[in-house]
Structure 1
Amino acid sequence: MDLLRESDPLSAYYLLDSVTEEQFNPTVHLNYVPPEKKITMQDLLLNQSATATPIAGTVPFPLLSPRGVRAYRKALFQQNVIEKCASSPFPGTLVLRDAVKHSRFIRDFWTHPETMRIVSDASGVPLEVVMPTEIGHTNIQAEGATIAEMVSNLKVEPSVEKLELSPEERAYDPLKDETSIIPWHYDSYPYVCVVMLSETDGMIGGETYIKKGNGEAQKVEGPQIGHAVMLQGGEVQHLAARAKGVKERISTITSYRSKVPNVYDSSYITNIRPYADLGSLYPEWTRYRLRKLRDEITHYLDKTGDESSSFFQREELQSIITQQIEYLHRTSRQMVSPEYQQQILKKYGKAAYYDVFRIWETVQSLPEFESLASATDQERGWMPESVYWMDLQKSIETIRMKGPLESTLGTHVWSKPRKFYMGDELLRQGLNEVFLDWLGSSGLWDIYSKR
């Protein structure tokens, strides 16, 4: 087959030179220097939850050598990786997922014992990769309206070309500008390591802002080329500022969870479902969660050993069992039917999916909100046989007992004066698709859309 024929929509991919990966060697490709400062939860005026470490994140620190940066870029831009892993959520942004399944260098870099030692040391807790599909997720800002156009501008050698900035661009403030590359959010997984693969000289923006306990935003400078930052992104709310003034910005990210037994794992796959291959994601998600469950049970058995019944701690065991039931419960709920998901995304759009919290805040201000939400939940005409109704009743009982609710936004006690509705429950679980469906069934979506 002629790969360069004009009728082939992927023909532009093959304009990149065919490359051969280097073999990862930590003594050659790493240039690690420990972070000069680690930011604690206390520094941010935040309460430490059961995440096993008080460290919220680090300032940027050297990780990859110049040769390591080029070797990583070389691995990313292979024809097979681009063809199998590239997608574009919107013009000017290219996403590469699952590159680890097509690149030995990327796999070996992220899973090498030395790299694992580095990220664990920086986080203050032993870590392990969540699952293969979350190794080396890569975000690329590049010129071009299509994948082919963006790929044609990518080279193994990092671009040093700068763009002329207007006065408005130089005054860019991501805390006031709605074009932040990623708005305020929590990550899908407890810990992330972000590595910069582009030159940042002349770049405006590109930093991360963390929301402190008093509502203020603390800036963490973006990493320079070859540098990394660690962030406990599942526990701290943060914003990623858009980079301006450079032709490319390439960052690669791997997600982790703590290896410490009996530590709450706050992972959700809400943010990932719309763009992931669910046929690959769900099996990996299931295996990772079941391994975590196995490790918890093994830890308990090893700890108790052959002790006599006089050492049996019934309350402790019941607590462990309850935790694991909840863990399996959340594991199952996160695997939304692919067909149902596509149906909802087609009807409401991905923009609405990622904007559900703002939509919900707006909907609550509508005069019809209380009556329509209450009637929908009382009548149960929407998904009458769904397990979500049992979830809702359990959360309502937890609220009555003044207990905390676990959610995609962390752990909190319900403090609003109004009733807790199904919409609240679905957002608590990170079921954005199902929330939009409920909102449409209640009639609130139509009123919101026409306002």
Structure 2
Amino acid sequence: MATVAVQTTVAPAIARLRAMPKFNPDQHLVGALPAKKMTMQELGFEEDVGVSPVAVSDPFQLFTAEAVKFMRGEVFRVPEKYKFSSNIAKSQLRGYAKDCAPFTWDAWNHPATIALMSKIAEVELVPAMPYEIAHINLSAKSKEDAQQELAQYQEQNRRYQEDEGIGGCREVVETPIVGWHTDSYPFVCVLMMSDVGDMVGGETAIRTADGKILKMRGPSQGCAVLMQGRYITHQAMRALGAQERITSVTSFRPKSALFKDDTELRTVRGVSDLNELYYDFAEYRLKLLQEQIQHERERVAAARRTGEGFATTAHKQFLKRVIAFSNQSSHELVEQSEVQQGYIERVDWPDAAIDL
């Protein structure tokens, strides 16, 4: 009897697992390259800012409609414990992919996806850490509200056209879905998961080094934008006329331990399961530290074998870098009791506006 009961309980779960779609890059990854990319220098930054010359890409088709459908299905089944909100973003899902979104997890971790990110970034990348796979930003409204705001936009646009701008206002200011911020990780890939064909707005606003605002065209469903978000202040602008705007943000960092890694946890501590976040951060930082030390050890051993004099200055510089790296890791691991949940330090600049 006990055996029969166990089989009855487990069988439906096994059937569901077998029915779940599997990520197949030949079927689900479009992998189109962006038409163009903007460099950090074009945004006014110095050459040594960032980990790549690439600042931000044009939107590019990343995943197929079927892939996005599967990802959306996983998003709408996420348990409450993965849901967060903050003073700059009202509704987010974080850390869910590893535990309850196998298709999404495989899609972002597949070598073909990572190779594409690296090609666009012009530096070999890897996902920053498991907890940052497919962070979700959600914004939703009723059909009536969406239609009303679009009608208001169209009326303002009509008045502006009639008076040729003499008495009208050229811009409609709307509270953004995510306020001005920099990201915690060197690169972020923002994937649009909503049908935004009829919406107005939805761009990503970015600030240049001298404070000017540029608006990058928002991607359509299944399209993505890759950006050095750690170094560029940006915000996600609201979409007028759309009932929902769901974006998936996956963070990346350089694979090589020889690249600088100035990841900050400042923008994610308050919206995270700190145990999971800190374990991931500690593990990958220790791995980088181990690789840095191994590389220097091999360099020292090779120099000795070839009879070179000991490079005291170079080795002391390495030790200083290791100390700085370790100090930064320590600085980011704020005691859990001191972290204010739901609060993220916001950049105090006026929001960008939606163009008419």
What TM-score comes out, normalization by structure 1 length? 0.64
Write out per-residue CA displacement over residues 162-213 of structure 1, whole angstroms, 9 at most, x where no aligned residue: 6332565466999984722223221111101111111111212211122123
1:91, distance to aligned residue in structure 2 (A): 12
Q: Does 1:300 align with 2:296?
A: yes
Aligned partners of 1:50 and 1:263 also within 8 Å: no
Aligned partners of 1:50 and 1:264 also within 8 Å: no
Write out per-residue CA displacement over residues 271-307 of structure 1, whole angstroms, 9 at most, x where no aligned residue: 1111211121111111111111112222223444432
CA distance in 2, matches of 1:103, 1:26: 17
Aligned-partner SS, 2:103: helix
* 1:337 aligned partner, one-letter code: E
Q: 1:331 to 1:248 in 2, by over 3 A?
A: same
Aligned-partner SS, 2:131: helix
1:314, distance to aligned residue in structure 2 (A): 2.2
1:89, distance to aligned residue in structure 2 (A): 4.1
* 1:104 aligned partner, one-letter code: P
Write out per-residue CA displacement over residues 250-282 of structure 1, whole angstroms, 9 at most, x where no aligned residue: 110111111234322121111111121112111
Pick the aligned partner of 1:354 from 335, 341, 345: 345
2:193 corresponding residue in structure 1:
197
Q: 1:174 to 1:65 in 2, by over 3 A?
A: farther
1:232, distance to aligned residue in structure 2 (A): 0.5
Q: 1:311 to 1:202 in 2, by over 3 A?
A: farther
2:280 corresponding residue in structure 1:
284
1:239, distance to aligned residue in structure 2 (A): 2.2
Pick the aligned partner of 1:273 from 266, 269, 293: 269
CA distance in 1, matches of 2:178, 2:135: 15
CA distance in 2, matches of 1:174, 1:187: 30
Pairing of 1:37-436 with structure 2 (within 5 A): 37-49=36-48, 51-78=50-77, 81-89=78-86, 93-101=90-98, 102-143=100-141, 163-165=147-149, 169=153, 177=173, 179-308=175-304, 310-342=308-340, 350=342, 353-355=344-346, 358=348
CA distance in 1, matches of 2:49, 2:65: 37
Aligned-partner SS, 2:239: coil
CA distance in 2, matches of 1:209, 1:72: 26
Q: 1:186 to 1:83 in 2, by over 3 A?
A: closer
1:392 corresponding residue in structure 2:
none
CA distance in 2, matches of 1:263, 1:91: 31
Write out per-residue CA displacement over residues 410-430 of structure 1, whole angstroms, 9 at most, x where no aligned residue: xxxxxxxxxxxxxxxxxxxxx
Aligned partners of 2:146 and 2:242 also within 8 Å: yes
Aligned partners of 1:162 and 1:202 also within 8 Å: no
CA distance in 1, matches of 2:94, 2:277: 11
Aligned-partner SS, 2:337: helix
1:66, distance to aligned residue in structure 2 (A): 1.0
Write out per-residue CA displacement over residues 121-173 of structure 1, whole angstroms, 9 at most, x where no aligned residue: 111100011111001101111238xxxxxxxxxxxxxx9x9633256546699
- Of the structure 1 ranges 99-108 and 189-198, higher mean CA displacement relative to structure 2 is found in 99-108
Q: 1:50 to 1:93 in 2, by over 3 A?
A: closer
CA distance in 2, matches of 1:105, 1:21: 8
Q: 1:56 to 1:91 in 2, by over 3 A?
A: closer
* 1:322 aligned partner, one-letter code: K
- Of the structure 1 ranges 118-127 and 203-212, higher mean CA displacement relative to structure 2 is found in 203-212
* 1:57 aligned partner, one-letter code: V
CA distance in 2, matches of 1:66, 1:35: 18
Write out per-residue CA displacement over residues 376-427 of structure 1, whole angstroms, 9 at most, x where no aligned residue: xxxxxxxxxxxxxxxxxxxxxxxxxxxxxxxxxxxxxxxxxxxxxxxxxxxx
1:88, distance to aligned residue in structure 2 (A): 4.1
Aligned partners of 2:177 and 2:238 also within 8 Å: yes
Gaps of 5+ in 2: 1-15, 158-168, 350-356
Q: Percent identity, aligned pairs only?
A: 32
Aligned partners of 1:51 and 1:258 also within 8 Å: no
Q: 1:127 to 1:311 in 2, by over 3 A?
A: farther
1:219, distance to aligned residue in structure 2 (A): 1.5
- Of the structure 1 ranges 111-120 and 253-262, higher mean CA displacement relative to structure 2 is found in 253-262
Aligned-partner SS, 1:210: strand
Aligned partners of 1:188 and 1:269 also within 8 Å: yes
Aligned-partner SS, 1:257: strand
CA distance in 1, matches of 2:330, 2:282: 8
CA distance in 1, matches of 2:277, 2:170: 32
CA distance in 1, matches of 2:88, 2:303: 62
1:36 corresponding residue in structure 2:
35
1:316, distance to aligned residue in structure 2 (A): 2.1
Aligned-partner SS, 1:274: helix
Aligned-partner SS, 2:303: coil
Higher-RCO chain (CA-CA 8 Å, sequence separation at least 6): 2
What TM-score comes out, normalization by structure 2 length? 0.80
CA distance in 2, matches of 1:72, 1:311: 57
1:151 corresponding residue in structure 2:
none
CA distance in 1, matches of 2:108, 2:39: 25
Aligned-partner SS, 2:270: coil
Aligned-partner SS, 1:264: coil
Aligned-partner SS, 1:306: helix
